Structure formats: structure tokens, C-alpha cells
Amino acid sequence: MAILFSIILDGSPYTWWVGKGNEKHYYWGDSGPGIQKCSCGIDRNCTDSKLFCNCDADQRQWRKDDGILSYKDHLPVTQVVVGDTYRSSSEAKLTVDPLRCYGDKNYWNAVSFIAPNSFLHFSTFQGETSADISFYFKTSAPDGVFVENRGNTDFIKIELKSNTEVSFSFDVGNGPVELTVTSPNPLNDDQWHRVRAERNVKEARLQVDQLQPQIRKAPTHGHTRLELTSQFYVGAAGDQKGFLGCIRALRVNGIPLDLEERAKATQGVKPGCSGHCTSYKNLCKNGGTCNELYKGYTCDCSRTAYDGNNCINAVGGYFEEGTWLRYNFHTASTSAVVSPKDTSNVPQTTASDNSLTKEELLFSFSTTKAPCILVYVSSYSQDYMAVLLKSPGVIQIRYNLGGTKEPYIVDISDHKNMANGQPHNVNITRLGRNIIFQLDHYPPVTYNLPASSEIRFRRPKALFLGRVLETGAIDQEIQSYNTPGFSGCLSRVQFNLIAPLKLALRSKNNSQVQVVGELVESNCGASPLTIPQMESVNNPWHINPETNFPNNEGQALKDGVNRNSAIIGGIIAVVIFTILCTLVFLIRYMFRHKGTYHTNEAKGAESADNADAAIINNDPNFTETIDESKKEWLI
């Protein structure tokens, strides 16, 4: 058996557990802080009465110590260290059950207000001479009324006046009184905040979280009784602007109100805490922040390279040949260059000690010309990062972080020509010495900086798009790519938390961004093809660019005209001419015979003396008809 407490080395037990704050603890189940005993030691029924844990008996059969750790300030258990396992006869088995929370269910009695005019109502607040109201709230809205109760002239109200202010106001007949607590940090951060308001005949008090409370003494003379007549409203009431978010653990004069039960029969209020942003995942794309509104939600795209209702419209621009953009990083803080995942605690530093151990670069490009510079990040030191497009359309990544004689170079030659005029997505993430590269929808590939390379990008200075015009020494090969420069489309450009291209196109007269040349906003950042191009060996329609065609057929001319197109155009012209000629001939033929007619005039009429003779000469039977017609019949 592994020993817990019996043998002490350097004053520390063999076994301990680690809890909140990464602190070691030496007490076990059913015991408490500072008491190095197990449950059997508390109850005095251990296997060895001289010991405080069954496992300390160090017997050849299994013994067990168990119990519940209930001191919540030390929980949860994050690690257990068992030290006495090096002996051949020493073994240990360990089980830690899930953390379970117990307590007053009213503490989590919560509702969600999802409509601007939604509210819950309860019986009139009874607080003539003394009253206290406490609750927790969570919201993304900038303001709104939490609770309110009115009388003829008296009233009591608690509201979120702004994203940093909570006010407690009331009137007992001496005129309105208002207490306001101002927070140094936003209160609409979608986190729980506690509000407690108290009022009696001596003073009024308001406290938010652990901030300094505001206290107002009551006047020595005047009214002291709060006379209310309306119902007690939670949320909007009348002409007040309602609250949008969650409220829980509402207590009035120490009595909890069952918010969830009342919400079941109230429109615009739901039991539990949920909203658009929490109920529906990924409403805001590409790193956008979801904020609750009265009638829905809104996406904050300010820290992304996108805009639109859901941060899905990539912001892009077309660079004429010779156009370039420069973005200067902040020199007063690291807020512009920290990783998107490290925004919770941004230290204030100067440019002299600003450095990065992680970069995330995302952008899309399309061009037909190479070589050129896509992205370049300079520094106040010799460090730099570059993404180039070499001839014939090969992406190259360069990192120079110090510690090596030459920059670390990666040629992405596994893919087709990237200078094919189609949009391509590039995602480069560096963490320490690991570089992860992903192109379009292909699987990501990992590269490693040399072991001698530094891991910190020291003092980043500026980010360039299209060309590099920087003081100090620049790699000669990179310098040669400045002429003639990048021409084509760049979009969705984002380096950690900054979107320099979006800033240049959306913000006018920004001192951090400099644009030289003609930069026109464009929707060129369309999604790249998701189907990889067929390899040339398997493509029956693939044409070898080195193939010689007779009479140069199929080759593009310098003036941009293709001979095949010219031949096809000539054939079409001949066909059209032939059709026109045929139509003209038919029309002339029809008009030539217009007005002619045929008669049944008897032949020989020209030599006959008169018309009757002509008929007789032509038709011998005509005389018989005449003779027959001249006969008379007597009846």
C-alpha cells in the first residue's frame, strides 16, 4: 500500500492533491483544511488506531480511504500526487468522482428576457420603511430597467443606465434620490454581475460586484415611508426601456421570487438563461462577436477582416501595378499585435519590449503575375516575416527571427501555379518554432524552425502589402520583387487582431495606414475552388505549354488575340454573308413575277372572226350542246 502521512520527508507528506490556485492540500475526504487526517481518523476507526488513515497501515492487503471534499474555496481537484510508489510492495489506486454542486435552487432560478417589452409582474413591493433587493444579471445590451415599482408619486427603480453604470433611484415624497455605481470595466460583457440595493429610514446603499458601494444618508426631516400601489415589475413596464438578458437569484426583502415559474406563462420571457447568442451557435462568423439586441442580435466585426450582418463579407481591394499599403503597429501597447486568443489580458508595453511568440496571418489573393510580394512584416530589429509569390507561381514563406545565419525558407511547391488568376486562401500560424501552413481547402502542413532559431518576433514595426519600402537593410531577393510589384486582388487580410486592408478601405485619414497608388475596393475575395485541379498526367485535355503548334495556332499573340478565335470569326462572317446573298436573290425573284396572270382563253381565238367562232373552233362538242338546247318539248 502507498503511504499517505506516516512517513514525512522534508516536512511534507508523501501524498497530496492540488486544487484551485494550484495550491497543495494535505487533507482528505470528510476532513478539512489544516487537518492531515482521513475520514477514519476523524471518526477514530482506522485499521491501526495509532494512525489517521487506513492506507498508512502499510499492510500487504488493500485498504481504502474515501470521503467527500467539500471546502469549495479549494475545489475543484486538478491533480493528485502519490509519492510512495517506488517500493516493490507499494501500490496505489485512485478514483476522483465528478464535481457536484449543492445548495439553494433559488440561487440558479433564472429567466431570459428576449423581447424589448417583456416583463414579469409580482405583488406590490412591501418596503415602507426598509427594503433590500438583490439579484444577478448577465447581458450584452447597453442599458435597460431591471426592476421597478410605482405609487402615486413614490417609486423605486434599479436600472442599467449605461454599459458601465448601475443606478438605484427612489422617491418617498422628498424628491427623487439616485445612487450610481460606475464600473471601470463594461458590465454588458455577457458575464454574471451581482447587484444589491438597500434603503431604510437612515440611509440608502447600492453595491455592484465587489466595487466600492455608494451610500446616501437620508434627510433628517421629511417623509420616510415608501408608498407604492402598482405591481412589482421585473423588466420593462409602461414607457420604460426593458431589460434584455438574464436575471437570476432575485430576492426582495430576503424572500426569493420564483422567476422561472412566472416566465412559463409570460410571452417574451423564457425560463433559464438563454438568448440568440447562446441558443444558436456560430451566428457571427470569422471571429465576429455576437451581441444581444431587443429584437435579435448584432455581430461586431470590428476585429475581423469581414463585414456584413454576420461577418461573412470579405473586405478586399484591387491593387494596380505599383500600389502598396503600409500599416504601422501600435507603439504604446500590444493590443494590435496580440493573438486573437490572448485578448483577455493585454499588458501595456512599449515598442522596445514588444515581441511575439505567436502570429496568425490569414489572407486571400488572386493574380496572374509573379514574382511579387504578398505580405511583409518588418521590425525595429532584424526580424521579419515574408510571404512571396515566386516565378512560376510558387508561394514562399520566409522567417528571420535571429539565431541563424540565413532566414528560414519554405517553398510551397506541392500545388499548381498560384498565379493563375483564381482566388487562393492562405493561413499561416506560428507558435514557437512550429509553423502551420494551409492553402485553400488542402490539409494543413507543419514546418519547424531550426533548433537554433529564436522563438520571439522582436518588436514588430509595420506590415506591408504589395511592396516593401522600409528603412534599413532588406533581403536583396525580396527587394528585387518590388519591381514592378504586386498587381491583382488581396482580401480578408488579418494579422492577429488587425485587419489593415479593411482599415484602409473603411477608415479615412487613419494615421496608422498609408496607401500609395490606386487601391479600389473589390469583391475579388471569392471562395477558392474546393475541388483540386486534376493532375496533368491524368488530364486528357492538358496541353503541354512547350508544344509547338503549326503556324503558331493555339498560341496567344502579344496583342492578346488568339488565331483560333480569328479563324472561327471568319467562318461565321462567310456564313452570314452567304445567307444574306440568298435572301436578296429570293426577294428579287419574287418581285420579278409580280402582276402576271393566266387565263383559260381558247386556243385559236386570234384567227377566229368573233368570240363565238373561237369557242366553236376550240370545242367541237359545243355545236351539239347548242342543237340540244334548241329542241322544244310539248307536254
Q: What is 105-271's CATH number?
A: 2.60.120.200
Span 313-522: which CATH code? Answer: 2.60.120.200
Cβ-Cβ contacts under 8 Å for 431 (sequence gap 6 or more): 357, 358
Distances (CA, A) of 16 to 24, 26, 31, 66: 6, 5, 13, 14
Q: Which residues of the chain carry a pLDDT beneath 70? A: 1-12, 84-86, 102-104, 237-238, 274-276, 278-281, 293-296, 330-353, 525-565, 591-635
Q: Which pLDDT value is given to residue 446?
A: 92
Alpha-carbon distance of 251 to 259, in angstroms, equals 10
Phi and psi torsions of 412, nearest 5° = -90, 85
CA distance 179 to 164: 14
- Torsion sign over Cα 409, 413, 417, 423: negative
pLDDT of residue 297: 78
* Separation of alpha carbons 266 and 112, rounded Å: 11
* 443 preceded by a cis bond (ω within 30 of 0): no
Let me know: does 148 contact 125? Beta carbons within 8 Å.
Answer: no
Q: Which long-range contacts (CB under 8 A, 24 or more apart) does 526-534 make?
A: 526/423, 527/423, 527/425, 528/364, 528/422, 528/423, 528/424, 528/425, 528/440, 528/441, 529/422, 529/440, 530/440, 530/441, 532/442, 533/416
Q: In the beta sheet, which residues pair with residue 165?
A: 162, 182
Rounded to whole angstroms, what are the CA distances from 96 to 100, 126, 154, 447? Answer: 12, 48, 56, 39
* The three grid cell numbers given for residue 311, joined into one nine-digit string: 461577418
Cα separation values, 630 from 334, 613, 624, 625, 633, Å: 133, 18, 10, 9, 10
Look at residue 208 in the predicted model and tell me its pLDDT.
Answer: 94
DSSP-assigned letter for residue 571: H
Task: Decide the pairing of beta strands 177-182 and 165-171.
Answer: antiparallel
pTM: 0.50
Q: Are 521 and 315 in contact (CB under 8 A)?
A: yes
Per-residue pLDDT, 103: 65
Nearest Cα to 414, choosing from 384, 391, 445, 385?
445
Cell numbers for 104, please give them: 439553494
CB 334 within 8 A of CB 474: no
How far is Cα 536 from Cα 545, in angstroms, rounded to an integer? 11
Give domain limits for the chain.
1-102, 105-271, 313-522
Comparing 105-271 with 313-522, is the CATH topology the same?
Answer: yes
Q: Within a 10 A sphere around the Cβ of 559, how many other Cβ atoms?
A: 5
Dihedral sign for Cα atoms in the order 456, 458, 462, 465: negative
Query: β-strands 355-356, 519-522: how paired?
Result: unpaired
Residue 58 C-alpha cell reads as 502499510
Distances in Å between the alpha carbon of 355 and those of 123, 449, 513? 60, 17, 21
Rounded Cα distance between 458 and 354, Å, is 7
CA-to-CA distance for 515 and 562, rounded, in angstroms?
37
CA 150 to chain centroid, in Å, comes to 44
Helix orientation angle between 611-618 and 622-629, rounded to the nearest 10 degrees: 110
Contact 382, 456 (CB under 8 A): no
